[in-house]
Amino acid sequence: MRYLNIRLHWRQLSVLLEAVILICVTFFPHSLNPLANSLTSFACGIQVESFRKIRNRGAATTMCIGNLRNGTENLHRFLRTHDRKAFYNALLFYGIILCFIIGAVLGNFVIKRFHEKSILVCSALLFIAFFMMFVNKEQK
């Protein structure tokens, strides 16, 4: 019988830790809101530190301003030089911003439906991301 031999990358562990923290925070009573806020901020900090780059380009995964600047800079470079790499970089950064917008709209609907338990949706998405990190695209 073969044993499952899976090695976790530290980024996978960080996503797993974020998901677990957010699940725990969901069930805190309102009297522990300061602790819940601190732990949620800690989970965001883990996200910021763990995922500084996307496709070897510096990108922010928890805020938009830097991505907007980088996307616009690359778009300007493409319009000026017709450099295809700059165009694809612009698409990457604007795609990240589009994901923020979609997340904000969907988050609004989820909050109206689930109220304080909405953070469980974030945990579910983090678990999906965690398992997606096991897919090795280079082997395909």
What is the per-residue pLDDT across 121-138, written as a single tens digit (0 to 9) for each? 999 999 998 998 887 765
Chain-centre distance for alpha carbon 109: 19
In a 3-state reduction of DSSP, which class is residue 64?
Answer: coil
Q: What is the pLDDT of residue 5?
A: 55
Residues of the chain with pLDDT under 50: 1
CA distance 54 to 30: 36
pLDDT of residue 1: 45
- For residues 62 and 44, the answer to whether their CB atoms sit within 8 Å is yes
What's the pTM? 0.73
Give the relative orientation of helices 10-26 and 119-132 as an angle to the nearest 10 degrees: 160
